[in-house]
Structure 1
Amino acid sequence: MTAESSPVTVFDPDSRASQPEGLLKALIGRVEAEIGELQFPHFTKDDSLNLGLLLVELGKSRRLPIAIDITKGEQVLFHVALDGATPDNEHWIRAKQRTAARYEVPSLLVGLRGRLHGGRIEDQGWFDQSRYAPHGGSFPVYVAGAGAVATVTVSGLPQQQDHDLVVEALREILQSMRAG
């Protein structure tokens, strides 16, 4: 069996090809589990700086062409573009951030849930693609007992990789809070 004919084992949110609904549901379940796992005891401006600097460190060490943003309400707490990031990343940052803030779930999850019954949420007439993007890369920062208080967003990689990088950094910061 060649690599090209091997069966698909994970849902690819960037693919427009038909994919098994079970794979889509599995990815939705994984993202929902991440929401449950990533509940912070607090999220201060210092925490935001630590998270942003960790993402910079990860991005630079891996030579990722990304832009990074952490926003709380209307206030930008952290924002940077690493080598290779483009002006287009700024549009994607804002659109994904607005999506995560509006729905209070990761931007990837908004897009995945939209695909559950076929089609894409972007194809709905009521969905304003000039303001919102249901693509992976923006994750709300949840504080236990308070809900979503901020968003952390990465743009520059395929959407699943943007999402996974944010989750990796959130896990590491949360782990350091619990250890300290």
Structure 2
Amino acid sequence: MKRGLAIVAGLGLLAATYAVAATTPTSQLVEAPFGSRGSLGDTVSSQHLIATVHEASLAHEVELGSWRGTTAGVWFVADATVEATLESKLIEVDLFIDGVQYGGTKRGDGGTVDEHTVAVRFPATGPLLIELPADVVNFPGARSAVLRISPFGDDRLDSVVEIVIDLTTLEVADRVELEPARDGSR
């Protein structure tokens, strides 16, 4: 009887250990940034940034000043105004589609907002560019992609701006001509 009870108790403890291990959140989830969410056209504030993404589209080719960007996929192109709240910041942008992260391009020859320092009370307005796979609109998460605008560097446990975008509704242009980022609002 004691042996049977010990076996049942041991199996119960193993099951409890498995349940605890299976439900413990990962460090990535525990340390995730706090997103202030909005939609296209909304002005969204985080601890460090105030941002408005005015419009977004997709394009096969972009022209930004004298730079011409081609890609095997498509470009995600957004027009945004970003300013800092407490101190000047470098920013970075990422687009998350169904958990996959696509980072902003650094090929824009210095003409995108995320290649400039944004200052307090002095917004910067201009394009944000992210290279995506050609069939991105067919991805399962394309209807609820999240554009994250955050201070450059480690954003764990920090507050960030997040804009939810339905990529399936965006226009796909062959070629888009863009103006380089500039100081001031739209």
The structure where helix makes up a greater share of residues is 1
Larger Rg: 2
Q: Name which structure has the greater RCO, CA cutoff 8 Å, separation 6+.
A: 2
The structure where strand makes up a greater share of residues is 2
Give the alignment's TM-score, normalised by structure 1. 0.29
